[in-house]
């Protein structure tokens, strides 16, 4: 029977699964990034061993809200999602709400006592406890299981359209950008073994486009092998007949070296596209952000990439309104964009986050 997983983005995701109607029906709302989506897909696979999966919120007995907490707006979205579906708990089939992911991982201590609408909380690495959590809340218990479980394995119920799937190659981050909560939420950078990732990719079946994601894709393997092994991973995945194309996301600029550039150029399976989060171009602001690059190094990298791979599409993202940013800093960024001629650039307003170094910087810019 074909069903769809619902999400707050209103995408419909087709999956095939045997339905056993007498069991509880479980739905999933997955918020935030594509890395979080992969975590949600693994939760679905684990849940489907014991419960039915439903796409219809009005039919769900249990709702899992898999959350993001990177920004204040993401935390607000997660909390609002619970209240959005709460009427189904008060007057419909919905009986239990379980919150998983980044928000409870970082903030469960602030939430557990007061956020009683949620029956159980699990963190980013507690997927092994998801079925136990469902069983226990039906015994009348309210649970805080953050930090008490283990990560799930490779198996997933893929929720993306048939032509692409994500492969999360690592978790956590060692970069410690001053505006970012990720290291406080996801922990240190941890790569997954090449063999495990190849096995997971095989399990996805035929994939037109396999998208490699991580907080820092270009650092892959450094912690596990003592040196960066992204190219070796790409080659191992490229050898799979079921993988038609590979796309690289979240490549930090200072780690894009000649070896990786040559692989992107020469490997026919790699899409000639790079997502490189630069965040700014003013040397002063980059230093305050604890970014390793500079205006000059960014220009040099873009020119080098274009020369080596003329057809390459480069996308980047930038933060506007970082503390102490001046008109001069903005003009520097504008000059960089004109010089670099990126194919696509996204801009995000700086979000002041407690427990980050940037939160304490004098010169916070007020919104107009």
| Average confidence (pLDDT) over 123-132 | 96
Task: Give pLDDT, residue 56.
Answer: 84
Task: Give pLDDT, residue 215.
Answer: 95
Task: Give pLDDT, residue 19.
Answer: 39
Task: Give pLDDT, residue 366.
Answer: 86
Cα angle 133-157-155, degrees, rounded to a multiple of 5 = 80
pLDDT per position as a tens digit, 308-367: 999 999 999 999 999 999 999 999 999 999 999 999 999 999 999 999 999 999 999 987
Identify the band that residue 57 occupies on the pLDDT scale cut at 50, 70 and 90: confident
Q: Share the mean pLDDT of the chain.
A: 92
| Average confidence (pLDDT) over 253-266 | 97
Task: Specify the higher pLDDT residue, 227 or 3.
Answer: 227
Residue 7 clears pLDDT 50, i.e. is over it: no
Lowest mean pLDDT among 44-48, 53-57, 199-203, 235-239: 53-57
Identify the band that residue 33 occupies on the pLDDT scale cut at 50, 70 and 90: very high
Task: Give pLDDT, residue 62.
Answer: 96
- For the question of whether the overall pTM of this predicted structure is more than 0.95, the answer is no
Task: Give pLDDT, residue 20.
Answer: 34
Domains, the chain: 2-144 (3.40.50.12160), 164-360 (3.80.30.20)
Identify the band that residue 58 occupies on the pLDDT scale cut at 50, 70 and 90: confident
Identify the band that residue 55 occupies on the pLDDT scale cut at 50, 70 and 90: confident
Task: Write the DSSP assignment of 246-270 as a string of letters.
Answer: EEE----GGG--HHHHHHHHH-TTE
What is the rounded CA–CA span in Å between residue 207 and residue 230?
Answer: 20
Residue 14 clears pLDDT 90, i.e. is over it: no
Residue 21 clears pLDDT 70, i.e. is over it: no
| Average confidence (pLDDT) over 90-94 | 86
What is the rounded CA–CA span in Å between residue 82 and residue 78?
Answer: 7
Exposure class string for 186-213: b at 16+ Cβ within 10 A, else e? beebbbbebeebbebbeebeebebbbbb
Determine the 3-state secondary structure of 225 from DSSP.
Answer: helix
Task: Give pLDDT, residue 2.
Answer: 26
Report residue 275 CA to chain centroid gap: 14
pLDDT per position as a tens digit, 164-189: 999 999 999 999 999 999 999 999 99
pLDDT per position as a tens digit, 99-119: 999 999 999 999 999 999 999
The most distant pair of C-alpha atoms in the chain lies apart, rounded to whole Å, by 65
Task: Give pLDDT, residue 261.
Answer: 98
């Amino acid at each position: 029977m074909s069903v769809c997983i619902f999400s707050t983005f209103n995408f419909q995701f087709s999956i095939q699964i045997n339905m056993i109607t007498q069991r509880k029906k479980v739905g999933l709302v997955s918020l935030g990034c594509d890395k979080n989506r992969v975590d949600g897909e693994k939760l679905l696979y684990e849940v489907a061993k014991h419960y039915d999966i439903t796409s219809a919120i009005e039919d769900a007995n249990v709702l899992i809200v898999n959350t993001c907490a990177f920004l204040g707006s993401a935390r607000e979205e997660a909390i609002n999602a619970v209240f959005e579906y709460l009427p189904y708990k008060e007057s419909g089939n919905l009986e239990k709400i379980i919150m998983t992911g980044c928000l409870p991982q970082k903030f469960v201590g602030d939430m557990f006592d007061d956020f009683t609408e949620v029956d159980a909380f699990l963190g980013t690495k507690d997927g092994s406890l998801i079925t136990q959590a469902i069983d226990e809340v039906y015994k009348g218990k309210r649970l805080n299981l953050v930090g008490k479980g283990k990560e799930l394995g490779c198996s997933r119920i893929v929720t993306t359209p048939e032509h692409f799937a994500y492969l999360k190659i690592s978790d956590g981050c060692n970069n410690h950008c001053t505006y970012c909560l990720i290291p406080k939420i996801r922990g240190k950078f941890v790569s997954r073994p090449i063999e495990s990732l190849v096995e997971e990719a095989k399990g996805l079946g035929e994939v037109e486009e396999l998208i490699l994601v991580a907080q820092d894709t270009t650092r892959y393997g450094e912690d596990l092998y003592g040196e960066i092994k992204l190219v070796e991973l790409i080659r191992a995945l490229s050898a799979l007949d079921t993988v038609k194309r590979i796309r690289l996301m979240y490549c930090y600029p200072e780690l894009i070296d000649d070896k990786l550039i040559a692989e992107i150029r020469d490997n026919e399976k790699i899409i000639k596209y790079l997502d490189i989060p630069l965040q700014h171009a003013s040397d002063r602001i980059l230093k305050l952000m604890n970014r390793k690059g500079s205006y000059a190094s960014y220009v040099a990298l873009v020119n080098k990439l274009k020369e080596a791979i003329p057809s390459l599409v480069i996308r980047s993202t930038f933060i506007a309104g970082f503390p102490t940013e001046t008109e001069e800093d903005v003009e520097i960024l504008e000059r960089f964009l004109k010089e670099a001629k990126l194919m696509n650039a996204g801009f995000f307003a700086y979000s002041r986050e407690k427990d980050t170094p940037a939160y304490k910087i004098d010169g916070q810019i007020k919104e107009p």
